[in-house]
Structure 1
Amino acid sequence: MKYGLSGLLLAGLCSSMALAASDNCQDAMTQAEMNVCAAKAHALADSRLNSLYQQYRQRLAADDQQRLTVAQRAWVGYRDAACRFETAQVSGGSIFPTIWLQCLTGKTETRIKELQKLMQCKEGELDCPSLQ
């Protein structure tokens, strides 16, 4: 299984002109339309995560910025490995892109919540990284 996210997105976007016309994921009927909708949901969650990550990173002291970068890269590896495991049963099927992207989106939304919680830390709390 060697699916690149960009390949999935491109395939989904190219194969769903009907959805582009209606642009309504609530009415997605075909697998191609569902794939496009899943790609849109993931892109939105990924954008939110990247924005939050950058905001949070700027608040950290230099040493903790580096630690966050290492943690985030490890999280991406975990996310991808976990989703490969969780979607193995549908690998190669037409539903795979939707299930894969839904898995990525769910894990991304969980990571957003984790970073939001960290952003609420106050200076001096022992379970929080040091702020600038």
Structure 2
Amino acid sequence: MIQRMLSAAILGGMFASLPTAALATQAEDLGIDCKKAISTPDVTLCINDAYEAADKQLNAAYHSAMASIDKGDRSLEVRKDWRKALVEAQRRWIAYRDAECELTGFQWYGGTGRSGAVLDCARVLTEARTKALKQHANP
């Protein structure tokens, strides 16, 4: 019962924000309906698919932010320093995401939901970072 409630809470919030096209995933290929998934392996696969979709959006936002640096009349030196700062910020953010989600996993230590919890943490933080990068792309 708890697993079913957790699955519904995680998956309900997760898929509400994704475009329908993003749902063509490994789970779908295996015939798993992520809106109804209740087994730990199915839920984990659905969460992984959602994380992968979020990661693709993050990469697109990062490239867009990088491309925006060359727009406008900024000097070559400013653009170089800005690129370097963005690369460093992204590297540090990845380290933060990984450490934070590893920490989240300890709440589930020894439980079958640990992998899903870690992946969902990564998804949530990735979506937030994507939003932030989109703001950097439109200074």
TM-score (norm: length of structure 2): 0.69
Identity %: 30
Return structure 1 stretches of 4+ with deviation > 2 angstroms. Answer: 17-21
Structure 1, unaligned runs of 5 or more = 1-16, 122-132
Aligned ranges 1:42-121 → 2 under 5 Å: 42-60=51-69, 61-121=79-139
Aligned length in residues: 105
Deviation readout 1:49-82 (Å, 9 max, x if unpaired): 0111011112212221111001100000011111
CA distance in 2, matches of 1:19, 1:44: 13
Amino acid at match of 1:28: A
CA distance in 1, matches of 2:101, 2:92: 14
Amino acid at match of 1:66: K
TM-score (norm: length of structure 1): 0.73
Structure 2, unaligned runs of 5 or more = 1-25, 70-78
Aligned ranges 1:27-38 → 2 under 5 Å: 27-38=36-47
